[in-house]
A and B are shown apart, each in its own frame.
Chain A
């Protein structure tokens, strides 16, 4: 191991000894580096997960972030992707077990930052869909814009988001129902909007490469109130698609 690699590895491994190059009060001097790295990484998580902070409070969040940072030190040079494993971490993080919805809230916040950094691709307008012939239409597949993500949860995540953002007063949620959201960045800033479960399943299936007919069947079989026209209106009106494909096989 090079001295640089051993230095870097010891930064997020508190049980590892400082590199041998550290003379004198090595532990104490190296702790300054460790702390700088910890503070920077915790700040990165604070920036990426503001809703989680408002849900659990700063003190809890920072303590959780330290544990996360030690368990999952960054693997990418891009700080924007740091925290991608946070949902899975939260799912098995005992102190957070009273709030099972935190995992899905974290997924939504990850999707929002990904949407922010997604490339700007041209979106299909309504004219692209009005030009479609009905023959073979069920086999058509669409490619979704890279900023588009769908999260559906067994928890009322949209209501929780609205309450933490202040657009709804925080109050008891008497009707604890599954909810789904769409994350996209139509212009400069990411937007989150609620979806019905059926529409969420439909868009998710399209994103996974399913043709229109099969995506509609998937949604209808799992959501009894699935409204295909309404789902298509969100797909078309939201400009979620970037291309339509008529062939079989993998999308290019």
Chain B
């Protein structure tokens, strides 16, 4: 790489002072804990609980017993198709 840049204490102290100025002027104070809010586990990110055997999951899809089928054709239908790139990395392979 380029010449090694070293940061002496004075530079760092100056940068911290500048950073503190930016923080204060942006009023981007660190998120204060919300005293009146409880952290409610499992609500905002549904399904990330430790047991997937709840209602509706136990026997879901039991009619499909082909899970060990190795051969599968893929047809991706996500937004990949719309995110095209100059390098051709974002397009979907037509199958």
Contact = CB atoms under 8 A, between A and B. Distances in A.
Contacts of B20: 126, 129-130, 233, 236
Given A213-B7, A217-B4, A237-B26, A98 B12 contact: no
Interface string A107-128: 0000001001100101111100
A80 interface: yes
Contacts of A98: 89, 91-93
> By DSSP majority rule, is chain B's interface helix, strand, loop, or mixed?
loop
Contacts of A55: 76, 78-80, 83
Interface in A219-246: 220-222, 224, 228-233, 235-239
A187 interface: yes
A212 B24 contact: no
Contacts of B61: 35, 39
Nearest to A58: B77
Contact of B22 (A78, A138, A237): A237
A81 B44 CA distance: 17
A188 B33 CA distance: 9
A126 B44 CA distance: 29
A231 to B, nearest CB: 8
Given A40-B52, A43-B52, A56 B78 contact: yes
Interface residues of B, number: 69
B52 A79 contact: yes
A172 interface: yes
B16 A100 contact: no
Contacts of B9: 134-138, 213
A156 B37 CA distance: 35
A56 B13 CA distance: 47
A64 B45 CA distance: 22
Contacts of A39: 57, 60-61
A63 B52 contact: no
A92 interface: no
Given A53-B78, A212-B12, A43 B47 contact: yes
9 contacts: A57-B78, A79-B51, A79-B52, A98-B89, A101-B90, A126-B23, A132-B16, A164-B79, A188-B44
Interface of A: 14-15, 28, 31-32, 34-36, 38-41, 43-44, 47-48, 53-60, 63-64, 66, 70, 77-80, 95, 98-101, 113, 116-117, 120, 122-126, 129-130, 132, 134-138, 155, 160, 163-164, 170-174, 176, 186-189, 212-213, 216-217, 220-222, 224, 228-233, 235-239
Interface of B: 1-2, 4-13, 15-16, 18-20, 22-24, 26, 28-31, 33-34, 37, 39-40, 44-53, 57-62, 64-65, 67-68, 72, 74-80, 82-87, 89-93
